[in-house]
Amino acid sequence: GNSVTQMEGPVTLSEEAFLTINCTYTATGYPSLFWYVQYPGEGLQLLLKATKADDKGSNKGFEATYRKETTSFHLEKGSVQVSDSAVYFCALTRTSNTGKLIFGQGTTLQVKP
């Protein structure tokens, strides 16, 4: 079946540090891949997405590249800020299904000043 695996958190970094949150997936066919972010007390928000192999999604300084050969979609940011502290979810959806998202467990990021 389809599934998403994320690195376990929490991840604690100092401000301006480099961030990587690993995400790998298992899916038949050609999924679309997403990163969602949940800031404290708020709903989930789409951060970025990629719909085909080798696509790079980017937003707010975050990037992730759809790697079909390694079935990965790792999230990176060159210099994190305290305001990036949140829970990050990797997700996939299949074009042939209803469009429902399959989420990873979530990774909590805490950035300290």
Partner 1 sequence: GAGVSQSPSNKVTEKGKDVELRCDPISGHTALYWYRQSLGQGLEFLIYFQGNSAPDKSGLPSDRFSAERTGGSVSTLTIQRTQQEDSAVYLCASSLGREQVYGYTFGSGTRLTVV
Please identify, using beta-carbon distances, which residue of 18 and 39 lies nearer to partner 1. 39
Interatomic CA distance for residues 33 and 89, integer angstroms:
11
User: Does 1 sit near partner 1 (CB under 8 A)?
Assistant: no
Rg (CA), the chain: 14
Least distance to partner 1 from the beta carbon of 19, Å? 20
Interatomic CA distance for residues 76 and 61, integer angstroms:
8
Q: Which range, of 14-22, 35-43, 65-73, 77-85, touches partner 1 by CB under 8 A?
A: 35-43
What does each C-alpha distance from 55 to 14, 41, 68, 81, 100 come to in angstroms?
29, 31, 10, 25, 21
Span 44-73, contacts to partner 1 by CB under 8 A: 44-46, 49, 51
Contact positions vs partner 1 (CB under 8 A): 32, 34, 41-46, 49, 51, 89, 91, 93, 95, 98-106
